[in-house]
């Protein structure tokens, strides 16, 4: 294949990212952008605000309740008092007859008056009233106190959820950001391998033309170059996919050129001992913190259930501000009092609530103990991975130096006819393989570091480690 054709393919594959201005992100800048634009984190922030509002609502249980009330009514019939006058005239008539049994004029008059009934309305047909009613629970058996604690703990749960969601997104960002760094550096290694084999192929063509090597050796060089070109193209496709994954997390359009990442893969030179992270994980792990809050909530829910055995005492008051056609002797304008409610028997529902609350609390205790063991094991495994990748990277540094020297020697020997084309191609591939293995070790180290810091609740420290090694 003509070398000019390879040059054309290189231009077609690699020139497009250079046609527009490329965005430059350090890891810290990428993290800041993600925290600002990520929708999942915005949802968690909104849930935290809702929990805080509910916390404010719980405080209202301590305040008296004041209500305005009013009414208008039309009565179908008048409410009247009917009083027969005979009950009064008969008594007078008896006294008169005792004085003068023959008296008829007065007695007849009294009989005539007594035949009538005295009628007068108590309330008019149209009545209206406006007033205020106040109620304050003076004693609730502690229910308000524990309800307030539960509301405060719901805020704590929301805060932990925010931190946990933030940590998960930070770990995801590390995977995608450094995944793109890995893809870009892999592409560069593949490009350098291709360039080296292209130069080797050009050298083989010249040597074939002067009869220094045969056609087979030249074809071997061409095959090695073509394979390297294909791997380079595949690396570019992988780089594009990695960039799209990062763009999605950072809310960047995929139509933009591939971003330039200024932070490099790294290995921490001096990492604290494992015991430091193991102790910190028990204290700051978000999952353990959440279980601890939930355990305290279960305890308060148990106490709320126990308060159902206590009576509830309230102070009452009412003031009528306006009353139309309602006599004050029938409806007092002011009233104060005290009342209570006491559930003496509810079909053993309280006992079942208490039993359920105790089981929920015990379940959370067991869950926390199991989670502590899981977190400790995860930290131990991740720390071991860090040490393994650091050792592997150091070994690969020596391996790369060895393969680079071998390649240099074989290239010189090939030019002098003392090495075959296969020797050069194999040495080139060996060097590239070692370089790619070192990049993979660095990436595995960074991802493991992020996972371990996340397990310890120290994910924000990743920026410090990243900046110190750059």
What span, in angstroms and rounded, lies between the C-alpha atoms of 34 and 458? 18
d(CA 22, CA 337): 77
* Burial degree of 71 (CB within 10 A; 0-12, 13-18, 19+): exposed
Q: At residue 299, does pLDDT exceed 80?
A: yes
List, in order of start, the domains of the chain with CATH numbers: 23-66+141-469 (1.20.1600.10), 70-136 (no CATH)
The mean of the pLDDT values for the chain is 83
Instruction: Give the residue carrying structure tokens 């009412």.
Output: 318
pLDDT at 13 (0 to 100): 43
pLDDT digits (tens, 9 = 90+) for 267-298: 998 899 999 999 999 999 999 999 999 888 88
Distance (Å, rounded) from C-alpha 277 to C-alpha 470? 23
**Cα distance between residue 247 and residue 242, in whole Å:** 9
**CA distances for 47 relative to 157, 162, 289, 301, angstroms:** 10, 9, 18, 22
Residues ≥6 apart with Cβ < 8 Å to 88 = 114
Query: Any idea which of 200-209, 328-337, 438-447 has the lowest mean pLDDT?
Result: 328-337
Distances, alpha carbon 382 to alpha carbons 194, 264, 376, 449, in Å:
36, 21, 10, 7
Whether the predicted pLDDT of 430 surpasses 90:
yes
The pTM for the full model equals: 0.76
Output the pLDDT for position 11: 43
pLDDT at 81: 64
């Amino acid at each position: 294949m003509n070398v000019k054709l390879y040059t054309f393919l290189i231009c077609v594959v690699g020139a497009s990212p250079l046609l527009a201005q490329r965005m430059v992100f350090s890891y810290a800048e990428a993290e800041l952008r993600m925290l600002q634009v990520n929708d999942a984190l915005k949802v968690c922030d909104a849930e935290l605000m809702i929990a805080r509002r509910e916390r404010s609502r719980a405080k209202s249980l301590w305040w008296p309740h004041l209500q305005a009330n009013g009414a208008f009514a039309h009565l179908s019939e008048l409410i009247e008092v009917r009083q027969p006058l005979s009950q009064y005239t008969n008594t007078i008539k008896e006294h008169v007859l005792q004085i003068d049994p023959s008296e008829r004029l007065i007695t007849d008059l009294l009989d005539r008056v007594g035949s009538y009934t005295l009628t007068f309305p108590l309330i008019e047909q149209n009545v209206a009233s406006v007033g205020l009613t106040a109620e304050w629970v003076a004693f609730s058996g502690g229910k308000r106190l524990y309800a307030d604690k539960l509301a405060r703990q719901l805020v704590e749960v929301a805060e932990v959820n925010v931190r946990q969601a933030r940590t998960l997104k930070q770990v995801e960002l590390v995977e995608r950001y450094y995944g793109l760094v890995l893809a870009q550096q892999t592409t560069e290694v593949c490009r350098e391998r291709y360039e080296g084999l292209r130069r080797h192929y050009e050298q083989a063509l010249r040597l074939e033309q002067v009869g220094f090597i045969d056609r087979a050796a030249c074809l071997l060089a061409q095959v090695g170059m073509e394979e390297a070109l294909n791997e380079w193209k595949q690396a570019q496709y992988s780089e594009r996919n990695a960039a799209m994954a990062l763009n999605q997390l950072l809310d960047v359009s995929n139509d933009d050129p591939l971003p330039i990442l200024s932070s490099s893969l790294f290995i921490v030179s001096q990492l604290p001992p494992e015991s430091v992270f193991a102790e910190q994980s028990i204290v700051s792990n978000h999952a353990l913190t959440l279980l601890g809050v939930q355990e305290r909530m279960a305890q308060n829910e148990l106490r709320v259930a126990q308060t159902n055995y206590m009576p509830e005492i309230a102070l009452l008051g009412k003031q009528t501000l306006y009353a139309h056609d309602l006599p004050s002797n029938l409806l007092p304008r002011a009233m104060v009092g005290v009342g209570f409610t006491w559930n003496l028997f509810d079909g053993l529902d309280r006992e079942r609530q208490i039993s359920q609350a105790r089981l929920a609390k015990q379940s959370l205790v067991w869950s926390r103990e199991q989670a502590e063991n899981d977190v400790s094991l995860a930290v131990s495994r991740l720390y071991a991975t860090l040490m393994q990748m650091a050792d592997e990277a150091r070994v690969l540094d020596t391996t790369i130096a060895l393969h680079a020297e071998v390649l240099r020697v074989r290239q010189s020997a090939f030019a002098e006819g003392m090495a075959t084309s296969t020797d050069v191609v194999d040495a080139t591939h060996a060097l590239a393989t070692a370089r790619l293995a070192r990049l993979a070790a660095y990436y595995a180290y960074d991802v493991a570091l992020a996972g371990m810091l996340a397990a310890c609740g120290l994910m924000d420290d990743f920026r410090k480690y990243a900046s110190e090694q750059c």
